[in-house]
Amino acid sequence: MADTYTFDAKDLAEIKKITDKYPEKQAAVLPVLWYAQDKFGHTDSSVQQLVAGTLGVPEAHIRGVVSFYTQYYENPMGRNVLDVCTCLSCQVCGGYDMLHYIEEKLGIKAGETTPDGEFSLQSVECLGACGYAPMLQVTNDKFVNHLTREKVDKLIDDLRAGKQPEFESNPMPQHEKGS
């Protein structure tokens, strides 16, 4: 595969900052993969090759790491990745309804990317936010909780306009003052 991805001098300086923190190069694999994914949007085989070459870590090992964590994208994804939880709590509270609504709205199935490269949709297992079910996560980052159709509509419009969702603080009932 052609080596179409490269790190420039600034990237290499950043990566050096990361590797300097660890006694061994192998320990820097995770943060450097994050850095690469931020830059290129995914960590496919050519990116894996680039990271392996940059760090001097075996390429097979990098592949093992990338494929272990679902948060690293082994294939190019849309600009926004919607991970809709369909695990037990969300499922009970309508996780699949939300998933199907989004599928219809974007005209793609879970696991696919819109032709304009704007959105990828995935159905994922528990993200540890059962208290705010149903929910989804946007591109390995913010959680959008207590999903409703309206909330989904707004989210997608915002994302199209380049606006990321805000962090929502959701205190659990037992933690609310005075209860």
Partner 1 sequence: MPEIFIDNKRYEFEEPGKVLQFMLDNGLDLPFFCYHPSLSIPANCRQCMVKAGMPVYDREKGTFEIDENGERVIRFFPKLMTACSLDLADGMVVLTHHTDELVKQAQADNLEFILINHPLDCPICDQAGECPLQILTYKYGPEGSRFEHKKVHKPKAIQLGPRVILDAERCINCTRCVRFTDEISKTHQLTIISRGDKNYPMTAHGQIFDDPYSLNTVDICPVGALTSADFRFKARVWEMNQTPSIDISNGKGCSTWMWTRDNLVMRVTPRFNEAVNDHWMPDAGRLAYRRFNENRISKPQLRLDDAEQVRTSWNNAQLTLLEELEKISAGDILVIGSAHASVEDNYALRTFFSNKGVSEFRFLPHIIPGSGDGYLISDDQAPNTNGVRALGFQETDEKTLIKLIKSTKPKMIVILDDDLLGRTSLTPDHLSGAWTIVFGTNHDETTRTANLVVPVTTAAEHAASYVNVDGRIQRTVPAKETLYTNRRLNLEMSMGRLDHYGTKFDNWVTDANRVDCISAWEFFIRLEHDGDAPKWESSRQIMEEIAGLFSTFRQVSYDRMDEENGIQLKLEQDTEVKPA
Q: In this structure, are residues 160 and 122 in contact, taking their beta carbons and an 8 Å threshold?
A: no
Residue 44 Cβ vs partner 1, minimum distance, rounded to whole Å? 8
CB atoms within 10 A of CB 129: 19
Binding site for partner 1 (CB under 8 A): 1, 45, 48-49, 52, 58-64, 67-68
Nearest to partner 1 of 60, 161 (CB atom): 60
Tell me the torsion sign for CA atoms 100, 106, 107, 113: negative
CB atoms within 10 A of CB 147: 25
Nearest to partner 1 of 48, 113 (CB atom): 48
Nearest to partner 1 of 52, 108 (CB atom): 52
Contacts of 41 (CB under 8 A, 6+ apart): 73, 76, 77, 79
Nearest to partner 1 of 83, 165 (CB atom): 83
Residue 4 Cβ vs partner 1, minimum distance, rounded to whole Å? 14
Residue 34 Cβ vs partner 1, minimum distance, rounded to whole Å? 18
